[in-house]
A and B are shown apart, each in its own frame.
Chain A
Amino acid sequence: QKEVEQNSGPLSVPEGAIASLNCTYSDRVSQSFFWYRQYSGKSPELIMSIYSNGDKEDGRFTAQLNKASQYVSLLIRDSQPSDSATYLCAVTSGTYKYIFGTGTRLKVLA
């Protein structure tokens, strides 16, 4: 069974701090990796996608991928109370399927 593991949290950080979210996956052949943000009662919203080793930055968000160690992380700089949500990590499994982690709940304290 292919798996994606995330710490369920909650991860609490003060406003303005860096939030670091981590995800490990078991399928060595996974090629595509995604971070989604999900507010309570809403559907997931894509934040970042990353396909190759290294860092990818988009505004306050940085995704980091290390295929050798099978982990992907998301850094949120200058965290805001509006960033408080559950963050889902997803990886592709084969060509058509996506495996989701159970999510990390982030709380940004004002």
Chain B
Amino acid sequence: DGGITQSPKYLFRKEGQNVTLSCEQNLNHDAMYWYRQDPGQGLRLIYYSQIVNDFQKGDIAEGYSVSREKKESFPLTVTSAQKNPTAFYLCASSIIGNEQFFGPGTRLTVL
């Protein structure tokens, strides 16, 4: 069954802590994306990657970091520099220029 998985489903972060959100896809897509969604708002792009070992900042990259060491994996680290990280985080992948498919999301809460 092809798809995108994200883990964990829920994540709690203490002040000053870095946390890493996992995203894996077996769709053989080259492009992968991370979005943040706040209540009642649209999706805002954090980072995207077109190919292994390459990624670009999106509109709200400050306080986040990513890596793309494998085609299937695009983990997102929320660092302590991100002052307001409570949000719903969505990972997506696509064939470049075509439909994006989304994972189930990770809901991050700061304690």
Which A residues have a C-beta under 8 Å from some C-beta of B?
31-32, 34, 36, 42-46, 49, 88, 90, 92, 95-98, 100-103
> Are A32 and B90 neighbours in the complex by a CB distance under 8 Å?
no
* Interface residues in chain B, defined as those with a beta carbon under 8 Å from any beta carbon in chain A: 31, 33, 35, 40-43, 45, 48, 50, 56, 58, 90, 96-105
Q: Which residues of B contact A46 (CB under 8 A)?
A: 99-101
B56 contacts across to A, CB distance below 8 A: 96
Instruction: Collect the chain B residues with CB atoms within 8 Å of residue A36's CB.
Output: 102
Report yes or no: B96 in contact with A96, Cβ–Cβ below 8 A. Answer: yes
Contact A43 B50, beta carbon cutoff 8 Å? no
Contact A90 B97, beta carbon cutoff 8 Å: no
27 contacts between A and B (CB under 8 A): A32-B97, A34-B99, A42-B105, A43-B90, A43-B104, A43-B105, A44-B43, A44-B90, A46-B100, A49-B98, A49-B99, A88-B42, A88-B43, A90-B100, A95-B96, A96-B31, A96-B48, A96-B50, A96-B56, A96-B96, A96-B97, A97-B48, A97-B58, A98-B33, A100-B35, A101-B42, A103-B42
Determine which of B42, B48, B98 lies in contact with A100 in the assembled complex, contact meaning CB atoms within 8 Å.
B42
**Is A42 in contact with B104, judged by CB distance below 8 angstroms?**
yes
Report chain A residues within 8 Å CB of B43: 44, 88, 100
Chain A, residue nearest B105 (CB): A43
